[in-house]
Structure 1
């Protein structure tokens, strides 16, 4: 859970603490933080007090939670993302058309970072805006990494934990899957990340680079794969055109009704 490559300075340790709040759990006990950061309890307690003082985390009856100051800063970052702003109306249209959740993600090393998410109806997803998921078991991750050899190597070299019985954990099999994504221009997740959920994703290109990917997610039994792939391809093209109109340079961070 620690920040890769961060020196064990005060700043690096503080970053480790903040990175511990990345799996959707809103409250972590001191013991949870110790386990996730591997910091001595005395050091962790002192740094937690300092982070509380600046509003990065807050005390809770069950331990600690992310503070309002981080929420404010995070929203400033999200609001400042012209790519996100360009994509939002098209994601809303895709979600309304399919009755499913539409998402926009980027690749950071071997993880997908969710820039935006639009849901429809009662569907609830285990993802959130600003959250992260491993690239190997998500359609977004496959679409984001398949078109860049360095990104492919980064995903294959990273741990590939099994999330469901359908998760691809063999590097050779995943490499073959990513080659198919490159050939087809569409990535699929057939219950590999979460039981009962499927996903279709398409990359958003800026010239010869992939700067983001768009996906639609819903219950496996309601997915019409070909129709959804066509819809997501149209949305990715619309996001690409909107992105160009607002003049976003596009940066890739490397490891450097269609329902039944």
Structure 2
């Protein structure tokens, strides 16, 4: 069997580098970060630029991801049946809850955000479609880990980082948390991923009643929670949204 093509591996590495960290990087930054010669790096960047995957700022000369890559990414997401079925329901969820709504799926030991509806107010927000969230401490990740055996295995193998003082990093406590998620049908993240931020999520099933994703809301902890924990109205709204998307995917009533 033929091995991987080195130039494609390097091009992929450059795209991943440009997708994270600084928004724009110079030739020297890219070359040094990946341990490549400047000439090799420049050749790959020029090729990616010609194909529209990379753009170069005419003033600074620095590189950033190009519009063609975004178009391909959006094309993938648009044909993703889960996202397509969830569009209307997640819009309704954000509107009824007053919080940002997210749809996530398992991807490479994490949660890939495939749809994000902004919180319905005038605050400045950043679109997080394409972002990755950890499995062990987010509401979406806990739900996937609780109901999807593959996600559970991926979570066990992933590197667990303490993102806040409340991040759950003990495997035994994590299993107890997942048992609670299964028992009540939803999961929560109370300042485990970001200080001052809480989330609640529920699983989405397909026509085979297999978990294919999770949907949830995220907001300031004082809005998401009350003295008794996560506000019951938000739990109900998230679970109703998850059921609606599941029904549209053929899961039937449950």
- Is the shorter-chain TM-score for this pair beyond 0.5, marking a shared fold? yes
Decide whether aligned partners of structure 1 residues 152 and 39 sit closer, same or farther in structure 2, where only a CA change above 3 A counts: farther
TM-score, with length taken from structure 1:
0.83
Name the residue aligned to 2:183: 183
Note if contact 2:19-2:65 (Cα within 8 Å) is conserved in structure 1.
Answer: no
The total of aligned residue pairs comes to 240
Give, in angstroms, the shift of residue 83 of structure 1. 1.8
Note if contact 2:104-2:214 (Cα within 8 Å) is conserved in structure 1.
Answer: yes
Give, in angstroms, the shift of residue 23 of structure 1. 3.7
Matches within 5 A, 1:62-211: 63-119=62-118, 120-124=120-124, 128-206=128-206, 207-211=208-212
Q: Aligned partners of 1:227 and 1:92: how far apart in 2?
A: 17
Decide whether aligned partners of structure 1 residues 22 and 167 sit closer, same or farther in structure 2, where only a CA change above 3 A counts: farther
Decide whether aligned partners of structure 1 residues 134 and 30 sit closer, same or farther in structure 2, where only a CA change above 3 A counts: farther
Give, in angstroms, the shift of residue 69 of structure 1. 0.9
Q: Aligned partners of 1:36 and 1:241: how far apart in 2?
A: 46
1:208-248 Cα offsets, whole Å, 9 max, x none, are 42101100111001114122111100000001112229xxx
Note if contact 1:186-1:203 (Cα within 8 Å) is conserved in structure 2.
Answer: yes
Name the residue aligned to 1:249: none
Q: Relative contact order (alpha carbons < 8 A, sep ≥ 6): 1 or 2 greater? A: 1
Q: Check if 1:48 corresponds to 2:45.
A: yes
Runs (5+) with no aligned partner, structure 1? 1-5, 246-260
Q: Aligned partners of 1:136 and 1:172: how far apart in 2?
A: 12
Decide whether aligned partners of structure 1 residues 85 and 150 sit closer, same or farther in structure 2, where only a CA change above 3 A counts: closer
Note if contact 1:203-1:236 (Cα within 8 Å) is conserved in structure 2.
Answer: yes
Q: Check if 1:229 corresponds to 2:226.
A: no
Give, in angstroms, the shift of residue 42 of structure 1. 4.1
Note if contact 2:112-2:131 (Cα within 8 Å) is conserved in structure 1.
Answer: yes
Match of 2:16 among 15, 19, 38: 19
1:134-176 Cα offsets, whole Å, 9 max, x none, are 2222111111121233321211211112221211223332232
Q: Which stretch shows the higher mean deviation, 135-144 or 24-33?
A: 24-33
Q: Which stretch shows the higher mean deviation, 32-41 or 145-154?
A: 32-41
Note if contact 2:112-2:132 (Cα within 8 Å) is conserved in structure 1.
Answer: yes
Q: Aligned partners of 1:209 and 1:104: how far apart in 2?
A: 16
Note if contact 1:101-1:123 (Cα within 8 Å) is conserved in structure 2.
Answer: no
Runs (5+) with no aligned partner, structure 2? none
SS of 1:14's equivalent? helix
TM-score, with length taken from structure 2:
0.85
Give, in angstroms, the shift of residue 41 of structure 1. 4.2
Name the residue aligned to 1:239: 245
Note if contact 1:202-1:214 (Cα within 8 Å) is conserved in structure 2.
Answer: yes
Q: CA RMSD in A?
A: 2.3
Report which of the two structures shows the higher radius of gyration computed on alpha carbons.
2
